Amino acid sequence: MAILPIYFDNNATTPCDPKVLETMLPFFTEHYGNAASKHHSFGWSAEAAVDIAREQVATLIGATAKEIVFTSGATEAVNLAIKGVAEMYAVKGNHIITTTVEHSAVLDTCRYLEKKGMELTYLPVDKNGQISLTDLQAAIKPTTILIAAIYANNETGTIFPIKEIGAIAKQNNILFFTDATQAVGKLPVNVITDDIDLLALSAHKLYGPKGVGALYIRRKNPRVQLQAQMLGGGHENGWRSGTLNVPGIVGLGKACALAANGLQVYAKQIQALRDKLEAGILAIPETYLNGDKLNRLSNVSNISFRYVAHQALLTSITKDIAVSSGAACASASGQPSHVLVAMGRGKQLAKSSIRFSLGMYTTDEEVAYVIKKITDVVTAIRAEGPLWQMGINNQLPDAEKWAI
């Protein structure tokens, strides 16, 4: 029997692995030194722990330890990467290419730079959430200095053709940044084979603690230069000043080490559960899968429920089941998902969508419960109101908003 409430929102955050917590705890009470304190053993102990974590993070993504800069999370890493490139390479050009389905951390940073005079190109996506490589190639200008493309979408799980994007960037002598927050720990990521110059990741998406992340910055072929965004003390070789969060960094390192060892095993287990969940829910009439069915994260299923008011749907299930109607950071806006709208979904259908994101602690009993609960709730909502009957009889005045 499933124990309530059930957590199916692992793309928003994951629970901290007990092994990660166990590794972190001594650095709160016993080894509490400042990693920047170079003149005593407390500082040396903290610095040594950070060095180990830096190596663990680097190993997971195919980088070297010196290419890892620790941040407060992926959002800061995104800002450092995109703003840092824009300021450092302003002499070379002022054009950045990104996509319409990026996380808000990327889109908001790009819009900020646009207001500052940068030229931005936002590549559209098809109904599966994929960009066209032909469109990417056509968008490149002599002034293009950066391509920013998400590795795996946080809402739909759609995986971009990262290797091909990296190759295009390299052929055109353009830097390539990817927000790999949802990919690292779930997919085999290698910054060298994929020609990635900058990569952002976050600990709490891979069973580590909140409040810590990292930015990979390529050191050769090419050597990437950035303008620091946080000043004061010159920590992290001047890339990111501020006292290091040693317990968090240790936790991130341990989470990466665990992911490196269990990546493929957990991915297969989670996908089997996800596929069962998906089959059960898609058996409900007028439900639609959002995203690329083939090129998708193994733990994500984003499903739209046609002719079901989104607020009624969420209110009816969230007491028992933790899910999301979009990105966690934008869940309070009440607006339809920009990702689903960019994919061509009608606004009402985009709003009446749920992202189910499973994790390594998900059980078969939980999946069975969620299928039944969702089926019962959707059936009841449709029976209680006129929306369902009006919709299937083509009587809705705003029918285009429910476009598939």
pLDDT at 399: 77
**Do 6-12+263-402 and 18-259 show the same overall fold?**
no
Domain ranges within the chain, ordered by starting residue: 6-12+263-402, 18-259
The pLDDT tens digits for 165-183 are: 999 999 999 999 999 999 9
Mean pLDDT in order along the chain per 10 residues (404 residues):
96 98 98 95 97 98 98 98 98 98 98 98 98 98 98 98 98 98 97 98 98 98 96 91 97 97 87 98 98 97 96 94 74 79 94 96 98 98 94 87 84
pLDDT at 400: 77
**CATH fold label, 6-12+263-402:** Aspartate Aminotransferase, domain 1 (3.90.1150)
Residue in 16, 110, 256, 329 annotated catalytic: 329
The pLDDT tens digits for 34-69 are: 999 999 999 999 999 999 999 999 999 999 999 999
CB 136 within 8 A of CB 97: yes
What are the strands of the beta sheet with 287-290, ordered from one edge?
A: 287-290, 300-305, 353-357
Please give the model's pTM, rounded to 2 decimal places: 0.96
**CATH fold label, 18-259:** Aspartate Aminotransferase; domain 2 (3.40.640)
Question: Is residue 72 classed exposed, middle or buried when 0-12, 13-18 and 19+ CB atoms within 10 A define those classes?
Answer: middle
Exposure string for 92-101, b = 16+ CB within 10 A, e = fewer = ebbbbbbbbb
Residue with tokens 């009957």: 389
Partners of 200 in the beta sheet?
179, 215
pLDDT at 264: 75
Count CB-CB contacts under 10 A for residue 283: 10
pLDDT at 235: 93
pLDDT at 196: 99
Give the length of the chain.
404
Catalytic (active site) residue 329: yes
pLDDT at 238: 86
What are the strands of the beta sheet with 175-179, ordered from one edge?
A: 68-71, 213-217, 198-202, 175-179, 144-148, 95-99, 119-123
**C-alpha to C-alpha distance for 47 and 31, rounded to whole angstroms:** 10
